[in-house]
Structure 1
Amino acid sequence: MRRIVLTVTAALVLSVAGLTNATPAAAATGDGSPSDPNISFTGRWNTTNSVAYVPYWAGAYLRTGFTGRTVKLKQRNTVTLWASIDGGAFTAYTNVSGTVNLTPTALAAGNHTLVVTYRQVAGSYTGDAVFQGLVLDAGAATFRAPARTKLVEFVGDSITAGQTSSKLAVTGYGFVTGERLGLDHTQIAIGGMCLAETADGCWAHETRYWLSSGGQVGTDQWTFSRYTPAAVVINLGTNDKSHGVTGAAFQAKYTTFLQQLRGKFPNATLIALRTFIGRYAAETQAAVQARTAAGDAKVRYVDTTGWLPADGLSDSVHPNDKGHAAIADRLAPLVGGVS
């Protein structure tokens, strides 16, 4: 897969200048503003501006409950997003801005749930992924949606980001797996990423995973205490081969990456997937074995041979919707069983 260079609009750059992970000022409970404590934000979000929250990486989303019959979304500039109400299918809103009506047909009166996720700002896409709040009916309010007991993180490249699937991250195997299990989920993935930094400039998780935005904006370090996954699912190596990373170098860097992840998440189950086209399969398995020999009892290698159906690819590498669903079929029992 080709290396993808990220760009952002000038407006987005201005909005996140001086990015930190500071806690925003508290909002009135139920008012639908970004800092409303009834709205949960899953993934890596910049929350420094209390009136404009910015999601990074792929598949970050917000989730809340609300009363009344309608809900609208306040957007700053043009962006593509997907929204699900009451657990229904995610509806696409393409190139929208301003006040976006998510309920053109009014709902039944009562309690409802809402999930919103934005198209990832990456490659040639420079949409303004900035959440500025909700507009509710007069007298309506938000409420906390039913709690999700665990979070699973998916680490990878364009495959994990859902590239070439119909709804990108939303139809990617990580998002599908998490939603199917009723778990929170993150996709720390950008198209073209490697595990290893290379001389020809492949963006790599060994250095960028630790950042809030992975290089989208700035070089700020992510505050890992902001969420703790029960499991981390890793799918890396597809791009490294194309950038000349040797098997020995890949194995060593994978071992180190697993060790570093363990340092951030002492109790998480680490699941290392064989890349779906089989690159570095032996090296990935050997890295897991090295960590097991070092005393790590919660790391495992998963052989993905045969997971993709013959018609499960949109090209020679990327799964289509059917392929991502097939991967989720295999992953869900593994992820759902972690403690």
Structure 2
Amino acid sequence: MNFKYKSLMAAFSLLCLSCAPLKDSGTQTDDVLPATALQPYGRYNLNNTQDLELVSSAVHFGFSFEGDEARLYASIPNAEGHNYLQYELDGAYQKRVKVSGTSTEPIVIKVPTRGRHTVWVYKATEAHTGPIAIQKVVADDIKAIQKPGAPIIEFIGNSITCGAAMDPSEVACGTGEYHDQHNAYMAYGPRVARALNVNFVLSCVSGIGAYRNWNSDGPTMPQVYEKTDFQDTNTQRWDFSTFTPAVVSIALGTNDFSHGDGKKERLPFDSARFISSYVNFVQLVKAKYPEAQIALLSSPMLNGKDRTTLQHALTAIKEQIDAKYPADKPVALHFFQPMQASGCTGHPSVEEHGILADELTPFFSKLLKDQVKS
């Protein structure tokens, strides 16, 4: 073989290598699913490097793969912080997974048997905890998947809706960071959706209210709802054409009734301001989703006089909205049974979210059936 022939063969070999499918460097059989191929449910953002930033509580995406292992590459913008994902494997919930700011290693999802497997990954924490960026998922014959076509329920609310302060199984109440006890997957909204085999999104912020927050005058939910990450200072607005819910559930009021931290001046609850702000917010939601059924929920954390006052206010809100939109479906109301919550800082626990979900499932089932009939 002469030198010229050797050179041609080497060039041809290099050309063939450059045409080969790109694989992850981990193993030769693994395929790479880039973040841009994922199909998330909930609020998200594709950043400048085309990573998928998971923003809202329980925003989730799915994929299937062959074999006994998948590797998920995730990061957070705060090098000194941490956040949490959680996942479901072949229809069974697994666990929360900590994403540390300094970690460069992938999250390894191991399965006991080889074969075709399905994984759904959820953000365990809320938008204000910060985004989790997904770069890619690596596994054999990996494919992004969508959930089956089904109605969507959007759950709007506060810390209860987010699943905050409910799960001290890994970090005890009163220790660690606030988001260490978040478990959005086990919150009442996702549990209702799973019971009814429908899809869901969560739009929630801890401490937020309709006209005032837990310990401040704002920004309230009406002021941040249109922002992708529910941050008033953010100029990025959410694209409401991304999904169209059949039902929008709104659960605000707990924080409007709060007495705050006892240090900052807190005026008595103003029913007129609450009703006015809430009515305006429902109108905003109806402008985004004209065909959606609106449902207003009370608070499981309010009892006695406050519980009665909130119920009267929600009834007044319903009457005003129904009068303004006589051709639309009437606003639906659900008043929670009283509950003495036993989770962190008086929030419902994982088990108590199950009680709330059981109470709500027939309510939402009827609303969805009525939507189908119409």
Q: Do Structure 1 and Structure 2 share a fold, with TM-score over 0.5?
A: yes
TM-superposed deviation, 1:219: 2.8
Residue 185 of structure 2 corresponds to 170
Structure 1 unmatched ranges of 5 or more: 1-29
Which residue, out of 180, 185, 210, partners 2:200? 185
How much is the aligned-residue C-alpha RMSD, in angstroms? 2.5
**Are 2:104 and 1:98 aligned?**
yes
Cα distance, 1:165 vs structure 2: 1.2
Query: Which residue matches 1:291?
Result: 321
* Partner residue, 1:9: none
What is the correspondence of 1:99-118 to structure 2 with a 5 Å cutoff?
Answer: 99-110=105-116, 112-118=117-123
1:175-200 Cα offsets, whole Å, 9 max, x none, are: 22222322221111111101115794
The 5 A counterparts of 1:22-37 are 31-36=32-37
What is the match of residue 158 of structure 1?
159
Letter in 2 for 1:129: I
| Contact 2:73–2:107 (Cα < 8 Å) also in 1 | no
Report SS of the residue matched to 2:33: coil
* Per-residue Cα deviation, 1:13-52 (whole angstroms, up to 9, x for no partner): xxxxxxxxxxxxxxxxx8411111xx32011101244631
Contact 2:33 2:144 in 1 (8 A): no
Could you say if the C-alpha distance between residues 186 and 90 of structure 1 is closer, same or farther in structure 2, counting changes exceeding 3 Å? farther
* 2:194 partner letter: E
Quote how far apart the aligned CAs of 1:298 are: 4.0
- Cα distance in 1 for partners of 2:292, 2:48 equals 31
2:296 is aligned to: 272
SS at match of 1:215: coil
1:8 alignment partner in structure 2: none
Q: 1:64 to 1:141 in 2, by over 3 A?
A: closer
Q: Is the 8 Å Cα contact of residues 96 and 124 (structure 2) preserved in structure 1?
A: no
**Aligned residue identity for 1:332:** T
Distance 2:143 2:33 in 1: 6
Richer in helix (by share): 2
Question: Once the 2 structures are TM-superposed, how far is the Cα of residue 160 of structure 1 from its aligned partner?
Answer: 0.8
Q: Deviations over 1:194-236 (max 9, x none)?
A: 1115794333111111111100872322111011111111110
Deviations 1:155-188 (A, max 9, x none): 1111111111125212211122222322221111
Aligned residues: 300
Please, what TM-score do these two structures have when normalized by structure 2?
Answer: 0.73
Q: 1:102 to 1:91 in 2, by over 3 A?
A: farther
**Which of residues 202, 218, 225 in structure 2 aligns to 1:202?**
218
Q: What is the correspondence of 1:128-277 to structure 2 with a 5 Å cutoff?
A: 129-137=132-140, 140-166=141-167, 167-197=182-212, 200-215=216-231, 218-242=234-258, 244=267, 245-276=269-300, 277=302
Q: What percentage of residue pairs aligned between the two structures are identical?
A: 22
CA distance in 1, matches of 2:186, 2:197: 15
CA–CA distance in structure 2, aligned partners of residues 53 and 324 of structure 1: 29
Aligned residues of 1:73 and 1:133 also touching (Cα < 8 A): yes
Larger Rg: 2
Q: Distance in 2 between matches of 1:228 and 1:176?
A: 20
Of 329, 335, 341 in structure 2, the residue corresponding to residue 303 of structure 1 is: 335
Secondary structure in structure 2 of the residue aligned to 1:201: coil
Deviations 1:125-167 (A, max 9, x none): 56x6111110112xx1215345141211111111111111125
Structure 2 CA distance, aligned partners of 1:45 and 1:147?
Answer: 20
Task: Answer yes or no: is the 8 Å Cα contact 1:194–1:205 preserved in 2.
Answer: yes
Separation of aligned partners in 2, 1:327 and 1:43: 22
Aligned partner of 1:180: which letter? A
Change (3 A) 1:95 1:56: closer
Q: Which amino acid aligns with 1:313?
A: S
